[in-house]
Structure 1
Amino acid sequence: MPSTTFQSVIHSVENTYQTLDCTGAALVIFHNNELQLEQYWGKHSAKEDARFVQPDTKFHIASCRKSYVAFAVAYALHHGFIQSLDDEILNYLPLSKQKELYKGTTIRHLVTHSHGLTERNGEVEREFIAGMSWAYRGLNVELISEIIQFTTKKTIADILNDKVFTPLNFTETNWYNTFDDTFVDVIGKENNRHWSASQNLDGSKMNMYVSARELARWGLLHLNNGSLNGKQVLDSNILKLATTIQNPFYSNVDLPENGIFWFVKGTQAKQSEIGALVPNGAYQILGYTTVTLLIIPSINIVAVRAFNSYGNPEGYDYLKDVRAFGDAVMLDFK
């Protein structure tokens, strides 16, 4: 039976809220499809007259957007626009420049952070042989976006709007280039009120904002294999493909395990971002703003925390912190 006070997870979120350079936070937890906890802290910015964080507050979710990108990739695979995760990216992109650099790099490598490509001073370089290690680099999303558009003739945002946001009435989730008072400031990113804001709305950029309650709804769709109120609204095969471990075999067992961008727990790898108390089969996505979506299928939990921070303050261990969040959820549901 769950705790009625949620002391562990509230303490975890409050501790992170106090540690980060931020002004607002949110916490939403569902268990067995029932809302168990919805709590908000602080304001949208440090301005004296700033709006209080509330249910319709939209947070910049940074890399949490990759859970939506994952849907687009799985959609393209399921419908045959992309034939296989093991197809080389050169099959779908011309990349005539530095063709040898990309040779041997597959879509599987891109979506599991095992591609070994990095960008320095505007030039793409190879950091390690594709499939031999793991490194979190942003180039993979740019390449995947191009592949999605080339193969499906739609952008990532087109696919999500057509298949998810519009039919399911997700009105607080999208890529945005205009902002109103429901959007938080991203604290700590000087001279840029909306971190990584872009006029581009195709889904390839980091200008994605989501309310905590709608991010939890997105998690519930995954937990319920695409079912909503007893009706199948998304193809369960697409969601399963995205959240099943897909990374290549690593000789280093400490490296994280990934589905399509999602972190998935199959073992307690030392570099996993999922807490030790969280059971295998759970999957999670984390953003640089510390926004986190955790799904634990074995006990029917969806947990979301959100902050309006930018990056990690000195001395902050983001892996330790995000693991503590998952462990705190488990302590309240032991």
Structure 2
Amino acid sequence: MKAEQRSFQDLTKYTEKMKEKMHASGAALLIMKDNEVVHEWYSGTRHFERGARKIDHHSQFNVYSTRVTYVGLAAALAVYEGYLNLDDKLSDYFRKWDKRILGETTVRHLITRCIGLKIKNDIIQRVFDSGTSIEGKRPDLLAEIVEQATGRTVNEILSERVFEPLGWKSTEWATEGKSTLVCDIHSPGTHPSIRMGSDIGDERNLFVSSRELALWGSLHLNKGLMGGKQILPEGVINLATTIQSPKGLDQTLPRFGFFWWLKDHQVSWEYNELGTELPEGSYQILGASGCSCLVIPRYNAVAVRMYNSLYTYENKNFDYIQDIQTFGNLVVKEIKLI
């Protein structure tokens, strides 16, 4: 990654402003264009307590829902290699749940966030017909399906096929604390924490540095080609980053690949996370802590930002939809100046 600093003044100021508004203690911003780093910026510390380590390129943020694209890529590999089919029914994998409630719900519905099911404490309810609306992500269910289909965990698959071949050392489902991990800030005045979990790849404990999250976007942008080597088949990336949403889904609702938000048309859905200035073909993922990865094929660009605040939904002074849309629009504005 060759660094070539450009201005990006407005985007950097905005990122710092949102850091303060969401009460994050740390932030990072990294922009890649034509496979080179053109802007890299760090601010703050890993928590607000005295003696906290400063944020730098070694800092690993918990990316929360941004992790779903990692689970999605493992699933795309399983589909590409014939272990899994998008039209497989969930009832084939979750026999403990009422088959009548699961009905015709498929893996395709799961990766595109339209299963129409509410599952809590192993109690399952049907809230809308599959493929008719959008709900929250369930990457844990997809991770379990991948393991059943392949006999390997998400982490095992990605470590062998991506992390190890590329020499990534700052991407991990953290099981114990270390100095590079950035703490979560839950709200003003609360103590920081670090979410730990298993290393299977199905939990909310994926920690990634800004540079490796940008490389994650770059791996997708370049169709699996990195450093002159085809790390993954192009077909796997195409699966993950093209529309997989059911054809009957209302045209006003957003479209998804394997959990990636895809810019296909101007949707009227109130929770659309993609900025209006993003060109067709762009795709993005956002996590609860404010971390996001945006890929813009038209400009051969990747934009990554990192925060560590979980005070993004309860904070009445912070509109996360407006924020992520503004971020995307500013990225386009700055990239077009290069």
Q: Same fold (TM over 0.5)?
A: yes
CA spacing shift, 1:7–1:250, aligned 2, 3 Å: farther
Distance 2:146 2:6 in 1: 45
Structure 1 outlier segments of 4+, above 6 Å? none
Distance 2:26 2:96 in 1: 46
Aligned to 2:283: 283
What is the CA distance between 1:215 and its match in structure 2? 0.3
Distance 1:222 1:122 in 2: 34
When structure 1 is superposed on structure 2, of 164-173 and 264-273 the one drifting more is 264-273
Aligned to 2:43: 41
What is the CA distance between 1:4 and its match in structure 2? 3.7
Matched, 1:320 2:318: no
Unaligned 5+ segments in structure 1 are none
What one-letter code is carried by the residue in structure 2 that aligns with 1:182?
T
What is the CA distance between 1:257 and its match in structure 2? 1.1
Distance 1:55 1:299 in 2: 24
CA spacing shift, 1:3–1:34, aligned 2, 3 Å: closer
What is the CA distance between 1:192 and its match in structure 2? 6.7
Equivalences, count: 327
Distance 2:81 2:65 in 1: 25
Aligned to 2:227: 229
Unaligned 5+ segments in structure 2 are none
Distance 2:209 2:94 in 1: 38
Aligned to 1:110: 110
Distance 1:192 1:248 in 2: 41
Map 1:201-216 → 2, pairs under 5 A: 201-216=199-214
Distance 1:269 1:3 in 2: 35
Distance 1:173 1:121 in 2: 30
Aligned to 2:153: 155
What one-letter code is carried by the residue in structure 1 that aligns with 2:278?
V
What is the CA distance between 1:249 and its match in structure 2? 3.0
SS of 1:166's partner is helix
Distance 2:21 2:175 in 1: 30
Distance 1:66 1:53 in 2: 24
Give the % identical residues.
35
Distance 1:249 1:322 in 2: 27
CA spacing shift, 1:249–1:317, aligned 2, 3 Å: farther
What is the CA distance between 1:8 and its match in structure 2? 2.5
1:126-154: CA deviation from partner (whole Å, max 9, x where unpaired): 111111111114xx322211111111000
CA spacing shift, 1:122–1:148, aligned 2, 3 Å: closer
Asked if structure 1 preserves the Cα contact closer than 8 Å seen for 2:91 and 2:97, the reply is: no
Aligned to 1:89: 90
Distance 1:165 1:205 in 2: 18
What is the CA distance between 1:210 and its match in structure 2? 0.2
Aligned to 2:171: 173
Matched, 1:305 2:305: yes
Aligned to 1:98: 98
Per the normalisation by structure 2, the TM-score is 0.93
Distance 1:4 1:72 in 2: 35
CA spacing shift, 1:191–1:5, aligned 2, 3 Å: closer
CA spacing shift, 1:120–1:148, aligned 2, 3 Å: closer
1:7-38: CA deviation from partner (whole Å, max 9, x where unpaired): 23112212211211210000000001111001
Per the normalisation by structure 1, the TM-score is 0.94
User: Which of 73, 76, 94 is the matching residue for 1:74?
Assistant: 76
What is the CA distance between 1:113 and its match in structure 2? 0.4
What one-letter code is carried by the residue in structure 2 that aligns with 1:85?
L
Matched, 1:164 2:123: no
CA spacing shift, 1:12–1:161, aligned 2, 3 Å: same
